[in-house]
Amino acid sequence: MRIRSKWSAKNRDRSPEEIAGVVAFIAWRICTQAVLELENNDFQTDTQVQRLAIIWEFAAFLIHITDRMMYERMDEEERAVFISAMAKAMAQTMQDNMEDFLGNGEYKPELINTLNMRMNEYARFGYSDESGPSFPMLRYFGENVTAVMGERQKKWVTTQVIDIEAPDAIKTLKRGIANLLPEDEQNSEK
């Protein structure tokens, strides 16, 4: 998947919130592409609301992965601001999409509750910068996606997520973050 992840105005300091907004946009694109890939591989989705539920599972996973990736790159306070801004941006995008399909309503509290629950659950699993998320984390993510998928091919969804969708999503996310926060800039900011 191609993403645009270069700053147009170079040599300008950016706040963690500004960077988080761009990372949230990249993550949203990754999430929507993942749903399309699942459908293109003959996995069943029946409604737009179901697709949004799958997108939110991917979003929670990618927000958590971003938090893990930022652990060494930002101090704790800056990382908390960054992840909070990313989560808020993605929750707002999800809120807007849910309003389009379900009508006006306040969907964010439930989205944030799900996100907080997933963040706590994913925190129990291992992650390393070299190898990424542990197999148990990937399996848990796959099971969360499987829980909201349609019945056709359902027994293979977790495998598809573990073997293909999660690695592709992480690779694209890492590339986007690396372009937005080059390693030499990150080390000079600490």
179: confidence class by pLDDT, cuts 50, 70, 90: confident
What is the structure's pLDDT at 12? 62
CA distance linking residue 54 with residue 50, whole number of Å: 6
Q: Which among 109, 159, 132, 155 has a CA at the least distance from the CA of 62?
A: 132
Q: 127: helix, coil or strand?
A: strand
CA distance linking residue 94 with residue 110, whole number of Å: 11
What is the structure's pLDDT at 18? 87
**pTM, whole model, 2 decimals?**
0.89
What is the structure's pLDDT at 11? 58
- Cα radius of gyration rounded to whole Å, the chain: 16
What is the structure's pLDDT at 5? 47
Contact between 172 and 62 under an 8 Å Cβ cutoff? The reply is no
Q: What is the mean pLDDT of residues 109-133?
A: 95
CA distance linking residue 170 with residue 130, whole number of Å: 12
Q: Which amino acid is at 54?
A: I
Whether residue 67 is predicted with pLDDT greater than 50 in this model: the reply is yes
What is the structure's pLDDT at 190? 41
